Amino acid sequence: MKALLFGFLAGCAETEEQMVSRLDELQKKGQNSQVMSEIDSYLEKISTENSTVLAEPYASRILRRSGDGSTLAWSQDDDIFMLRSDGSEEIDLPDPVADMQLSFNGSFAAVVLKKDLGCEIIPVNLEQDSILHDPVVSDCQSSAITDPAGKYMYFADSEGVHRIDLSDEESKTQKLLAVKSFPARYAKVPGRLELSGLPDGSMLIFFGSAGFYRLFHYRPDENKLVYLDQGFSRAEFYGTLANDPVAQNSAEKKETPAAGGARAPVRYAGHIIFGGSGRYGYRPVRTAPAAAVDGALWGGPASQIAFIQSRNIFYLSRKGMLTLWDPATGRYSPLPLPAAKFEIFAGGIVFEGRDRKLRRLQKDFSPAAMQLAALRSKAAGQIRQN
């Protein structure tokens, strides 16, 4: 009897297509809260089923992607875990990780370690699992990077920008730029320096605080500092991905063509979030023939961005959902993936779900799931209007 009942229930299970049809009717009747609730529960369910768990919830986890998208890394206590398209690796470190930045090509990392008193910075060869130089004692707010060749480590603190030659075990810290090289917006408000490495070995330097940063470009080999612009809301640089590594179904691809039709996309090293107070843009960074930031592509607020050059589109973390944004049309296309945090790299999507577990997406988004994400967005819009 139980077997017959189970067979009957299984035969009556609602398909995704039937769910889309039923919820579409409810949405047309104005039952938007119910529609959102059901879709949220279902998308949470399939995002769990269609992904593998990489790590359990960890409040202090740091998730980083290399500028070229080849490497993804995250911290867990005194370990760094890495993902590349061809495999994974774990590196044990002597102390818990307070912060880290990957070199643009993903071969090296500058890691800030928590000590009993203060912090230390170490340069790590991620490909050979080795520490390249003795630690540098610094405050825990220091920003540190390595160049793509692994020859130098740079770090910024309250005194300025410094360099260590990693090819010389006896090398000492060399100050390159004093903090007074960077004009403060307000004389009595101390600014903070943040470094981001570029593919040619130069770097971007942010200076500011409280949602307002000035941006500079610095070539250490020439000791040349150039002011670029100001008004950046966050001191974060998001490197460009040449191609879209995410497995998308063909219907979704047709809905989001490359911006500008057949026009070839412009190559940029990456983008920076610009603006604030409800008006945000993403400003592209060029390194040739000279470093510059171009005009903003104005969009809505996003906690994270990833620009795909081959499609000329952005992935955004927007309102708790992974979303595609086409800057040419201004169109947002929500994806069926609830994500508090995400990164896209050569091996696909890694994200933190609402349960804060770190997961790697393993399956394509179905056409019906894409429709559910769009219906959820429509219902949310109706709720906001009412």
Residue from 285, 323, 284 nearest 301 by CA: 323
- Distance linking the first and last C-alpha atoms of the chain: 49
pTM reported for the whole predicted model: 0.88
Residue 310 corresponds to which tokens in the numbers above? Answer: 């081959």
Q: Is 29 exposed, middle or buried (0-12, 13-18, 19+ CB in 10 A)?
A: exposed
pLDDT for res 354: 85
pLDDT for res 12: 58
Q: Which domain holds residue 353?
A: 26-50+243-386
> 289 and 346 in one domain?
yes
Identify whether the C-beta of residue 173 lies closer than 8 Å to the C-beta of residue 160.
no
261 φψ region: left (φ > 0), alpha (ψ -120 to 50), beta (else): left
Gap between the Cα atoms of 280 and 267, Å rounded: 22
Q: Which residues of the chain have pLDDT under 50?
A: 1-11, 247-266
Residue at 275: amino acid letter = G
pLDDT for res 3: 41
Gap between the Cα atoms of 202 and 356, Å rounded: 35
pLDDT for res 304: 86
Q: Are strands 224-239 and 212-219 parallel, antiparallel or unpaired?
A: antiparallel
CATH number where 86 lies: 2.130.10.10
pLDDT for res 279: 74
Residue from 381, 379, 336, 318 nearest 33 by CA: 379
Residue 356 corresponds to which tokens in the numbers above? Answer: 């804060």
SS (H, E, C) 13-59: CCCHHHHHHHHHHHHHCCCHHHHHHHHHHHHHHHHHHCEEEEECCCC
pLDDT for res 277: 65
Gap between the Cα atoms of 147 and 106, Å rounded: 10
Is 8 part of a structural domain of the chain?
Answer: no
> 386 and 260 in one domain?
yes
Residue 21 corresponds to which tokens in the numbers above? Answer: 């049809």
Is 21 part of a structural domain of the chain?
Answer: no
> 152 and 252 in one domain?
no
> 248 and 214 in one domain?
no
Task: Tell me the torsion sign for CA atoms 181, 184, 189, 190.
Answer: negative
pLDDT tens-digit series, residues 125-179: 999 999 999 999 998 999 999 999 999 999 999 999 999 999 998 888 999 999 9
- Residue in the block written with tokens 């609730």: 37
Identify whether the C-beta of residue 60 lies closer than 8 Å to the C-beta of residue 67.
no
Is 9 part of a structural domain of the chain?
Answer: no
Question: H/E element holding 279?
Answer: strand 279-286
Identify whether the C-beta of residue 203 lies closer than 8 Å to the C-beta of residue 110.
no
- Extended beta strands in 126-223, E state: 130-131, 136-138, 143-146, 152-157, 160-165, 174-178, 192-197, 203-209, 212-219
197, 215, 239 - which closes a domain: 239
Please give the DSSP secondary-structure letter assigned to residue 384: H
How many structural domains are present in the chain? 2
Please state the length of the chain: 386
